[in-house]
């Protein structure tokens, strides 16, 4: 994995509470603008192999559309079953209108 930040989209392209799926070096990432911040979380649910970016965003969480597991956008930790394992979250930088994400996992 690269420590480098990669431009994934423009801030103006990202609607509030509407996840956007992007790929960085083949890794699917969901980028979310909510509550005045931008988050990047791995786009694949840890319970089932489905895209989290197709789910809904509420209260700084993203919900998997298939089984309803909710993941905290800040930590990647699930707060509802059936998911029990977190999904990776990634550092985000905003430079002007550019949203940059690094695949380095935050701790």
Query: CB count, 10 Å around CB of 4?
Result: 11
pLDDT tens, position by position, 44-100: 999 999 999 999 999 999 999 999 999 999 999 999 999 999 999 999 999 999 999
* pLDDT of 104: 84
* pLDDT of 106: 61
pLDDT tens, position by position, 17-29: 999 999 999 999 9
Task: Return the beta strands (E) in the chain as ranges.
Answer: 5-10, 20-24, 27-34, 37-42, 57-58, 61-63, 70-72, 89-90, 92-95, 98-102
Output the pTM of the full model: 0.93
């Amino acid at each position: 994995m690269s420590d480098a930040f990669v431009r994934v989209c423009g801030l103006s392209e990202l609607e509030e509470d509407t996840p956007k799926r992007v790929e960085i070096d083949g890794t699917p990432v969901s980028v979310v603008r909510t509550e005045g911040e931008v988050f990047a979380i791995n786009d694949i649910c840890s319970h089932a192999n489905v895209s989290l970016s197709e789910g809904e965003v509420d209260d700084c969480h993203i919900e998997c559309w298939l089984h309803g597991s909710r993941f905290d956008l800040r930590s990647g930790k699930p707060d509802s079953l059936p998911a029990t394992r977190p999904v990776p979250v990634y550092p985000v930088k905003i430079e002007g209108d550019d949203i940059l994400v690094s695949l380095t996992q935050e701790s």
